[in-house]
């Protein structure tokens, strides 16, 4: 069974499935899930996201009458994710170093499928299961944001999209994205610098007054992109920058984002020049978008207890964690589903060094089996 698990993983990572191009991967999963006796449907999320296939929803009817358990992973990978050539070395699987491996999130998919296969082979009478394989998670949780929630029958479950086996992520921050355009005034830098207002200078001054990085235990802020200026001999008129604020606390998220935008407004307001009778005032235009809401699952909730008990059953240390990233689970939470994030064993994801230990995949599979058993019992 260990060989089957590894072979399956190898065969899936060889299927290209960069975000928006999940069709081949979705077709393969549809075939495999149908063969296992599931009912498989696709929604039409791709019509809104611009991808080539929708989210896949597979239902195993189960042998007892109960609300289904939600098990989720994402079909897409980050780039470079084409022609992945997996290599097994010292009990670990790597790519050949020219691409990512795609264990994020194919390890999750393989572990869900293998766990269900083994339970079927054991003739275990499990509760109904809803397997949801989302598209375009890596480019802004687009599959989850556009999922047809009318097709989902479960209310609690797990997204397999983290690292350590036994660890249950119950909290994740919400995220705001801000974009700022600074407008100054252009002028020749040698002939008449007095007639210019440098947008770069305004940005530099505002940024130097901002607190970035970790703000407090719940909140972080970052400016991630900046561009502007045309030539060395022109005082730069325009500058664009964008960044993000994350917080587990909605008030802090809102206040911190506004504080950043206000700092740019305040700084720009100081810069004006008069040429003849005309006054030139620098200004900013800003936009704040909420990218995803926070995930908040109570430690006492059934779903957390199930995962911790299941981890204990297989002899790994059960822990709960507060995550710093966003995932499909944040969007599910906004839509009334309580989905905790659990580890698959994937390591160094989003890099050419991405790898996974075979033993971890096996343990994650056993964990999922125990989770299904515990859920069935409750
Ligand atoms: Zn992932």
pLDDT tens track of the chain, all 378 residues? Answer: 779 999 999 999 999 999 999 999 999 999 999 999 999 999 999 999 999 999 999 999 988 999 999 999 999 999 999 999 999 999 999 999 999 999 999 999 999 999 999 999 999 999 999 999 999 999 999 999 999 999 999 999 999 999 999 999 999 999 999 999 999 999 999 999 999 999 999 999 999 999 999 999 999 999 999 999 999 999 999 999 999 999 999 999 999 999 999 999 999 999 999 999 999 999 999 999 999 999 999 999 999 999 999 999 999 999 999 998 889 999 999 999 999 999 999 999 999 999 999 999 999 999 999 999 999 998
Give dist(CA 228, CA 74) in Å, integer: 36
Rounding to the nearest 10 degrees, give the CA dihedral for residues 108, 113, 119, 124: 100
- Contact present, 347 and 101 (Cβ < 8 Å): no
- Contact present, 271 and 202 (Cβ < 8 Å): yes
Number of Cβ within 10 Å of residue 253's Cβ equals 23
- Cα(153) to ligand 1 centroid in Å equals 23
- Cα(105) to ligand 1 centroid in Å equals 5
- Contact present, 135 and 75 (Cβ < 8 Å): yes
- Cα(101) to ligand 1 centroid in Å equals 12
Of 239, 254, 79, 277, give the one whose Cα is nearest residue 174. Answer: 254
- Cα(327) to ligand 1 centroid in Å equals 7
Catalytic pick among 76, 138, 360, 370: 76
Structure tokens at 104: 């994020």
- Cα(163) to ligand 1 centroid in Å equals 10
pLDDT score recorded for residue 288: 97
Domains located in the chain, CATH noted: 2-172+294-377 (3.40.630.10), 178-292 (3.30.70.360)
Paired strand residues for 347: 355
- Cα(191) to ligand 1 centroid in Å equals 54
Give dist(CA 133, CA 92) in Å, integer: 25
Q: Tokens 């047809």 map to which residue?
A: 148
pLDDT score recorded for residue 233: 98
Question: ∠ at Cα 358 (357, 364), nearest 5°?
Answer: 90
pLDDT score recorded for residue 324: 86
Give dist(CA 154, CA 131) in Å, integer: 10
Q: Which residues of 4-23 are buried (b: 16+ CB within 10 A; e: fewer)?
A: ebbebbbebbebbbbbbbbb
312 is catalytic: no
- Contact present, 378 and 115 (Cβ < 8 Å): no
- Cα(254) to ligand 1 centroid in Å equals 27
Question: How many residues are given for the chain?
Answer: 378
- Cα(337) to ligand 1 centroid in Å equals 19
- Contact present, 159 and 332 (Cβ < 8 Å): yes
Q: What is the DSSP letter of 282?
A: -
Q: Map residue 285 onto helix, strand or coil.
A: strand
- Cα(104) to ligand 1 centroid in Å equals 5
- Cα(216) to ligand 1 centroid in Å equals 26
- Cα(162) to ligand 1 centroid in Å equals 7
Cα–Cα distances in angstroms (integers) from residue 109 to residues 71, 105, 165, 190, 282, in the given order: 9, 7, 15, 61, 52
pLDDT score recorded for residue 18: 98
Catalytic pick among 32, 104, 105, 137: 137
Q: Look at phi and psi of residue 102 and say left if phi exceeds 0, alpha if psi is from -120 to 50, else beta.
A: left
- Cα(135) to ligand 1 centroid in Å equals 11
pLDDT score recorded for residue 378: 86
Q: Look at phi and psi of residue 281 and say left if phi exceeds 0, alpha if psi is from -120 to 50, else beta.
A: beta
Structure tokens at 223: 């400016």
137 is catalytic: yes
């Amino acid at each position: 069974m260990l060989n089957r698990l590894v072979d399956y993983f190898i065969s899936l990572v060889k299927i290209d499935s960069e975000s928006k191009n999940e069709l081949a991967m979705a077709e393969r999963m549809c075939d495999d899930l149908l063969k296992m006796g599931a009912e498989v449907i696709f929604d039409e999320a791709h019509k809104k996201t611009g991808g080539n296939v929708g989210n896949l929803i597979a239902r195993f009817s189960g042998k007892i009458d109960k609300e289904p358990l939600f098990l989720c992973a994402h079909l897409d990978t980050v780039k470079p994710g084409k022609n992945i050539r997996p290599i097994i070395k010292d009990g670990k699987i790597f790519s050949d170093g020219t691409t990512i491996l795609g264990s994020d999130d194919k390890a999750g998919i393989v572990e869900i499928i293998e766990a269900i296969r083994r339970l079927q082979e054991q003739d275990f009478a499990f509760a109904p299961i809803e397997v949801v394989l989302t598209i375009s998670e890596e480019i802004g949780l687009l599959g989850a944001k556009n999922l047809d929630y009318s097709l989902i029958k479960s209310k609690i479950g797990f997204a397999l999209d983290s690292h350590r086996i036994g660890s249950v992520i119950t909290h994740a921050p919400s995220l705001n994205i801000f974009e700022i355009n600074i407008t100054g005034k252009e002028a020749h830098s040698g002939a008449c610098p007095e007639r210019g207002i440098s947008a770069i200078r305004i940005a530099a001054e505002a940024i130097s007054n901002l607190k970035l990085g970790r703000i407090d235990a719940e909140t972080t802020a970052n400016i991630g992109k900046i561009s502007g200026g045309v030539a060395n001999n022109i005082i730069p008129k325009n500058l664009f920058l964008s960044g993000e604020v994350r917080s587990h606390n909605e008030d802090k998220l809102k206040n911190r984002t506004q504080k950043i935008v206000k700092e740019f407004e305040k700084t720009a307001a100081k810069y004006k020049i008069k040429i003849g009778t005309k006054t030139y005032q620098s200004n900013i235009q800003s936009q704040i978008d909420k990218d995803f809401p926070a995930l908040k699952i109570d430690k006492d909730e059934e779903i957390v207890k199930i995962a911790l008990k299941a981890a204990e059953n297989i002899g790994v240390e059960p822990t709960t964690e507060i995550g710093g990233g966003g995932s499909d689970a944040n969007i599910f939470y906004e839509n009334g589903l309580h989905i905790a994030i659990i580890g698959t064993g994937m390591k160094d994801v989003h890099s050419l060094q991405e790898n996974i230990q075979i033993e971890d995949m096996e343990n994650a599979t056993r964990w999922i089996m125990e989770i299904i058993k515990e859920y069935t019992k409750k």
